[in-house]
Structure 1
Amino acid sequence: MFAALFGSVEQGIIYAIMALGVYLTFRVLDFPDLTVDGSFVTGAATAATMIALGYNPILATLLAIVAGFIAGCMTGLLHTKGKINPLLSGILMMIALYSINLRIMGLSAENAIVRPNIPLMNSETIFSQFNAFWSTLGIDDVMTNFVKNTLGFQSAPSTWGIALVVLIITLIIKLIADWFLKTEVGLAIRATGDNKRMIRSFSANTDSLIVLGLGLSNALVAFSGALIAQYSKFADVNMGIGMIVIGLASVIIGEAIFGTKTIFRTTIAVVAGAIIYRIIYAVALRIEWLDTSDMKLITAVIVILALVIPQMIEKRREKKRKEKRRAERLSQQNVAQGGNHLA
């Protein structure tokens, strides 16, 4: 059980990078970008193809980020220059990326025009490199013995190095996002999402800001896809289906639990939301009458609960606030009436 939950936390940390990308579009830019389902696979396909061809995993991951950035910029150009509806521009790019991703993966095999998946079982990845280094320090054995002997779990994970690497990477991305959103360009992007007409009155080029925001968002999504491909040891053309829903669920769950008072707090909430989502998902799959084929149903239920429960809680709080104000008014009236009687 502990090993399964630990694996869910690892995946949640990686998916948190994708959730941060979704946060940039949906919350900061107020842009319903469905490119995510395609750009996630673009990152995975690019990284897996480069690794399969013998390139360095770090270089492959960097190229995956660039590919995701280009995909996001194309969506932005379809909307800003092509004057296509934001939702439709994302859908069109998502559809186009399906064929593009097949072509990218086809490059990894001789005479293959298209290829639906790439196995990486015997290939070196970022995680295998760092895990090997971590194992040489002997900390893996120490942590495994601690979990088994001290905590009393029968099974213990052996990927402590991977968990540390993904945690460091995600925290760095989170801190960079915090810094960027407080820069002049970041503030302009936030202002574009809040009130496009107002920011235009200050002679800001909102089209360029939208394109840049979408590019950065999908670069993060592709980065997450590249890491997931290396973590799972395969890339598949269908691995991005429903990714936008997972990203939204992470954002909504995190915001509902931790709040959104500051940028720092909000990005922490998004990261935590992604981890909580994966834990809920792993626990749900351990229920006897649920199967892996119910994955989409579980995702939908989690999102529905994440949307409905905060509203119910807020309505309950508002009701209590109204009752408190009413009691205070009655108390003030009673005090005033008592004063009048004394007079």
Structure 2
Amino acid sequence: MSDRVLAPSINANLFEEFEPNEWLCAHLIKLSELAASGAFMPDIVHEINGPLSSIRASAANNIHALHALREEVEQDLPMLSPDHHAQFWRLVERAWQYTHHLSTSEERKLTREICRFLEEHEIDEADEIAETLVEIGIHNGIESWLSLLRSPTCKKILQTAYNLASLFYSARGVQTALDRIAGITAALKLSAYPEILSDEWSEAIVTDGIDAVVSLFNALKLTKHLQLTRQYDPIPAIPCQPSRLMLAWRHLIRNAIEAVGGKPGSLAIHVAQQDAHVTVRFTDSGHGIPAEIRGQIFAPFFTTKCRKAGAGLGLYVARKIIEEHRGTLVIESEPGATTVLITLPKNAT
């Protein structure tokens, strides 16, 4: 039999009458946080390496373009007439404003259309000029550039415009990559390990912690296949340990994501006020929890995943944290719809 089949039955027997003491509970929560942080590391490294590679490539492109531009600007721009000089900078400005990315087939179609237009107006080397115009985002209104395109230095001028546009595109790419890294690091900071283990009590809005966890998972692209919706009714701040609750949200949301798997699915988060409590509801469209094991899912180390996928502490730790807040955590499940309902008291007494 596989580990996946054996794990639930072995853990169920081992912990059937097991209830960890307070000291062990605290250490299990710390172990759970370490496991959760470690589980994110491949995603974090992958997501940060992507934009870093873009920055390296952009930097190399910028160096090359700057060397080429120095010679082109010194040699060619002084030779332009005032009218062509103004047209050149309008061309560059149009190129800078271009943000749409065409598919290869769209580029080829546009290039052919522009090439035919240029040939009709007897522009030399129409195919090369059309290709450059498409690359810098000049796709329409070509007639307004005909005077410049008939210039003897047309190809050099277009190449200069192309290099200037490339510098701008590279700078924009660097900014996008840096914004992505900043998003990842900001999300990580909000759920950093030392803060998670803090025992400090304060008045807090529970949706702040949920949003921080969702931001982290979004930054790591763990939710890209999900239709994730959040419905937050007005709620008061409640006495809680925000860092501990954030750990509970991390486990519960990660469980929902893994239940859906890599296929398209949904996760709905609803936070509301009900009498003397704040309620938090997570509903996913995953495979559900079989009826025969629902009584065991809160046992420490119980898991239906393969051993590499998790330590089996998520639900145990999440419920323990909620109970520390004098709240409750219950699960209702059927294939295609699993709901985790948490209730937390609004007042300390």
Instruction: Identify the TM-score tier after normalising by the shorter chain.
Output: under 0.3
TM-score normalised according to structure 2 size: 0.24
Larger Rg: 2
- Give TM-score scaled by structure 1 length: 0.24
Relative to its length, the structure with more strand (as a share) is 2
Q: As a proportion of its length, which structure holds more helix?
A: 1
